[in-house]
Amino acid sequence: MGEFVRVEVEGGVATIRLDRPKMNALDAAMQRELIEAARQVTEDDAVGAVVLYGGERVFAAGADIKEMAPMSYAEMSAGHSRLLQDFTKALAAIPKPVVAAITGYALGGGLEVALTADLRVAGEGAKVGQPEIRLGIIPGAGGTQRLARLIGPSRAKDLIFSGRHVEAAEALALGLVDRVVPDAEVYTAAREWAASFAGGPAVALRAAKQAIDSGLEVDLATGLEIERTQFAALFATEDQKAGMRSFVEEGPGKATFRGR
């Protein structure tokens, strides 16, 4: 349990809760706590899926500009820019399904946190964007890379070049979020979605996530080899035996998995 980040586990779903009032500005301390939270949910076998959540009013309005403004090139190059990428890499590397629950603003570093998730639910009143260009900089916690991979380079360039805020309906049309629900239902919808994965075969879910994410970084032939290797390896798991035996004996969708 950190000062600004909490991890709460219930029913196989862990919620990583950002809690630095008023706007969840992501300072260095909070970034380090998010690295620790990612480690915690990764290592906890009771956790089958994860929700990233900033609270009812705001997801995260971005990095802490007051903290960064006085930094020199040497300070940023040697340390803080690495931390910016380390904490988002840690979240993206969680080997379990992760759903971001976006309320209010998810801007700059806040959107970069949401981009580390596998799926995103936004409230109808949410606003997302990468406004760093308006500060004379660019996204530094993965925004130029993850956003372009998610919605394509041209759309990503439009958002990053302009720094504009995108409302929920447009974010859905762009593929930047996957579902839009009433603001009051965001966390419930995200948690229900995460819970639908929590009882699944943990090793296979991890393999699927790794195959997709790693495959996006390589050519098709290499991606197919990643898939083949992961697919074959699952035949060494108890869950594969249980899943196929259940299918043959009882029909689809009735297997109980043990995560081994």
Q: Which residues are catalytic?
A: 112, 132
Who contacts 133 (Cβ-Cβ below 8 Å, separation ≥6)? 160, 161, 162, 163
Rounded distance, CA 129 to CA 121, Å? 15
Would you report the helix, strand and coil content of the chain in percent, each value rounded to 5? 55, 15, 30
Contact 125, 180 (CB under 8 A): no
Tokens at residue 25, please? 């500005």
Q: What are phi and psi of 14, to 5 degrees?
A: -100, 135
Q: Where are the beta strands (DSSP E) in the chain?
A: 5-10, 13-18, 49-53, 98-102, 105-107, 119-123, 127-129, 166-167, 179-181
Who contacts 183 (Cβ-Cβ below 8 Å, separation ≥6)? 56, 103, 123, 124, 125, 126
Rounded distance, CA 91 to CA 18, Å? 13
Q: What are phi and psi of 93, to 5 degrees?
A: -85, 0
Neighbouring CB atoms inside 10 A of 252's CB total: 8
